[in-house]
């Protein structure tokens, strides 16, 4: 196959190299376009723009495929743990038993949060959203854990990765405990990554928390499914901010801010709020579907649609199974699950949703899983953020190691006023 395309502008023809990925995806390599032609491309929202090459995650939005480092997400959800998947994303290969043990020890070593940071948590207003708290605290980590010049760069980077993976989980639980006015629970060396989080969240001196294996399994799958998703909004934010060579804490903090939005990581919270609204209005999803179809109404069905997936999000199918399983095992009957199933059935058979290729995304069932675990609604995006950390870290690492690395600096087409002269204030009409 010819590896170039041609572009003709005002009678002049230019060769544009074609780039072909390992799964056959093709791109026009326009990196020298402006230099050769004086032209830029315009692509609001970057729907047609690749910002990098990457060997971490493959997704096919038409076929509903998602793989991390070549492994189908379905297999990882079935057989792996979040900790192992994090290692895979960051290091490129599944760990040996020894490597996994070393990684676990590192996570354990870095799980405590500096005691002086406690006063930060305690002074946020009680109603502050945990995502705002988390992004601020992650940024503050740099002040508490500055670089140690005696360490090699590799050592420093690996410690920073472990710190983030372990401390963000601890900080999330601490902020929850403090928001409730409860005693903080410290991490324990004898518990797994997920079990530790649940214990820190829910254990109390007056009501000991028994870690339930089914909840641990569900949490592992929840976090595996969120672990990476190639160049989504928050990952793009991490890469963009990181491209200015800021420290990793600042770049991850930017990712958390991007994830907070209801069109991205805030959608799991928005889905449950929407299902509650349907329940409060009598339980019939039909009027909500009608609103979503109405061009004059800004309302959208939360948990439906995706920039890349034009079919079922593969994570949504797995999440639905987890949801059914965990609710059954815990003998929970959640009326929101019935509503979600009715809503899905109606929407996927509705011509508007079919024509617009709108199907459930990962957030559609995940909120119901989190509710079953006892996670409060405003912590839902935080749960997503903990899960996405390995993805952010691995994407940041890849961008730092890229020999073609460049500061991210998009261009624009200016549509404002042309040059005009300044008028002193006393002469303005
Ligand atoms: N409900 C109703 N209509 C929708 C929805 C929805 N959930 N999503 C998209 N559409 C419609 C739009 O109105 C638009 O219609 P039109 O072409 O007739 O004007 C068309 O589908 C395309 O919409 P865009 O906003 O251009 O598509 P985009 O790819 O930018 O949107 C997004 C993707 C933001 C996820 C969108 O589908 C949405 O808002 N979904 C609801 C929020 C949500 O669930 N977010 C989580 C995404 S997954 C994640 O981040 C983990």
Q: Is 114 a catalytic residue?
A: no
Res. 1: pLDDT tops 80: no
What is the sign, positive or negative, of the torsion defined by CA atoms of 312, 220, 234, 131?
Answer: positive
Atom index in ligand 1 nearest the CA of residue 364 equals 44
Q: Give 120 or 67, the one with higher predicted confidence.
A: 67
Q: List, for residues 310-363, the tens digit of each pLDDT value.
A: 999 999 999 999 999 999 999 999 999 999 999 999 999 999 999 999 999 999
Q: List, for residues 247-266, the tens digit of each pLDDT value.
A: 999 999 999 999 999 888 98
What is the sign, positive or negative, of the torsion defined by CA atoms of 395, 400, 402, 406?
Answer: positive
Name which of 248, 244, 229 is nearest 73 in CA terms.
229
Res. 114: pLDDT tops 70: yes
Q: How far is the CA of 228 from the centre of ligand 1 (A)?
A: 20
Atom index in ligand 1 nearest the CA of residue 232 equals 50
- pLDDT at res. 88: 98
Atom index in ligand 1 nearest the CA of residue 45 equals 30
The alpha helices in 81-179, defined as continuous H runs, are: 82-91, 97-109, 118-123, 130-144, 153-179
Q: How far apart are CA 165 and CA 389, in angstroms?
A: 7
Residues 187/411, Cβ–Cβ less than 8 Å: no
- pLDDT at res. 146: 87
Atom index in ligand 1 nearest the CA of residue 356 equals 21
Q: List, for residues 374-403, the tens digit of each pLDDT value.
A: 999 999 999 999 999 999 999 999 999 999
Q: Among 260, 291, 305, 384, say which to mutate for ligand 1: greatest number of ligand atoms within 8 Å of CB.
A: 305
The alpha helices in 282-313, defined as continuous H runs, are: 286-293
Ligand 1 environment, Cβ below 6 A: 263-264, 267, 292, 300-307, 356, 358, 361-363
Q: What are phi and psi of 408, to 5 degrees?
A: -80, 120
Say how far residue 291 (Cα) sits from the centre of its chain.
28
Mean confidence (pLDDT) of the chain: 94
Q: What is the mean pLDDT of residues 85-102?
A: 97
Q: List, for residues 155-174, the tens digit of each pLDDT value.
A: 999 999 999 999 999 999 99
Structure tokens at 240: 């963009």
pTM for the model: 0.94
- DSSP state letter for 378: G
Q: How far is the CA of 291 from the centre of ligand 1 (A)?
A: 14
Q: How far is the CA of 306 from the centre of ligand 1 (A)?
A: 6
Opening angle at CA 214, ends 211 and 220, nearest 5: 90
Q: How far is the CA of 263 from the centre of ligand 1 (A)?
A: 8
Q: How far is the CA of 39 from the centre of ligand 1 (A)?
A: 30
Q: How far is the CA of 305 from the centre of ligand 1 (A)?
A: 5
Atom index in ligand 1 nearest the CA of residue 361 equals 48
CB under 8 Å, gap of 24 or more: what pairs does 187-196 form? 187/108, 187/111, 187/112, 189/108, 192/81, 192/83, 192/216, 193/81, 193/82, 193/83, 193/104, 193/107, 193/169, 194/81, 194/82, 194/219, 194/220, 194/223, 196/111, 196/169
Of 203, 306, 313, 350, the active-site residue reads: 306
Q: Is 217 a catalytic residue?
A: no
Closest Cα to atom 22 of ligand 1: 356
What are the respective helix, strand and coil percentages of the chain, to the nearest 5? 55, 5, 40
Structure tokens at 40: 């830029």
Structure tokens at 195: 């079990």
Q: Give 120 or 217, the one with higher predicted confidence.
A: 217
Of 363, 408, 421, 426, the active-site residue reads: 363
């Amino acid at each position: 196959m010819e590896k170039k395309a041609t572009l003709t502008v005002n009678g002049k023809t230019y060769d544009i190299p074609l780039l072909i990925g390992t799964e056959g995806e093709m791109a026009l390599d326009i990196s020298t376009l402006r230099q050769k032609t004086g032209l830029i491309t315009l692509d609001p929202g970057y729907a047609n723009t690749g910002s990098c090459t990457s060997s971490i995650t493959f997704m096919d939005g038409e076929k509903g495929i998602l793989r991390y480092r070549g492994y189908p997400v379905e297999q990882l959800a079935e057989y792996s743990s979040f900790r192992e998947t994090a290692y895979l994303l960051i290091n490129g290969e599944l760990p040996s038993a020894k490597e996994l043990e070393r990684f676990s020890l590192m996570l354990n070593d870095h799980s405590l949060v500096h005691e002086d940071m406690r006063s930060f948590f305690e002074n946020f207003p009680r109603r502050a959203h945990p995502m705002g708290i988390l992004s601020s605290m992650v940024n503050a980590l740099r002040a508490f854990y500055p670089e140690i010049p005696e360490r090699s760069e590799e050592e420093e980077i690996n410690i920073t990765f472990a710190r983030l993976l372990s401390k963000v989980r601890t900080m999330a639980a601490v902020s929850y405990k403090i928001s409730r006015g409860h005693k903080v629970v410290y991490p324990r060396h004898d518990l797994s990554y997920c079990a530790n989080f649940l214990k820190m969240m829910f254990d109390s001196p007056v009501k000991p928390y028994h870690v339930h294996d089914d909840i641990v399994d569900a949490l592992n799958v929840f976090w595996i499914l969120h672990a990476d998703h190639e160049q989504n909004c928050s990952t793009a934010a991490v890469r963009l901010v990181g491209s200015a060579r800021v420290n990793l804490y600042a770049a991850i903090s930017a990712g958390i801010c991007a994830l907070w939005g209801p069109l991205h990581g805030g959608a799991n919270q928005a889905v449950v709020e929407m299902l509650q609204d349907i329940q409060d209005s009598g339980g019939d999803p039909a009027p909500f579907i009608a609103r979503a179809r109405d061009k004059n109404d800004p309302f959208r069905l939360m948990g439906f649609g995706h920039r890349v997936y034009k079919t079922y999000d593969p994570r949504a199918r797995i999440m639905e199974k987890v949801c059914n399983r965990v609710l059954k095992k815990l003998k929970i009957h959640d009326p929101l699950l019935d509503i979600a199933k009715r809503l899905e059935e109606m929407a996927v058979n509705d011509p508007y949703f079919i024509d617009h290729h709108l199907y459930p995304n990962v957030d559609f069932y995940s909120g119901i899983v989190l509710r079953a675990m006892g996670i409060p609604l405003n912590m839902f995006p935080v749960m997503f953020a903990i899960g996405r950390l390995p993805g952010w870290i691995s994407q940041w690492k890849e961008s730092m190691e890229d020999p073609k690395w460049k500061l991210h600096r998009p261009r624009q087409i200016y549509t404002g006023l042309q040059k005009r002269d300044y008028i002193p204030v006393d002469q303005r009409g």
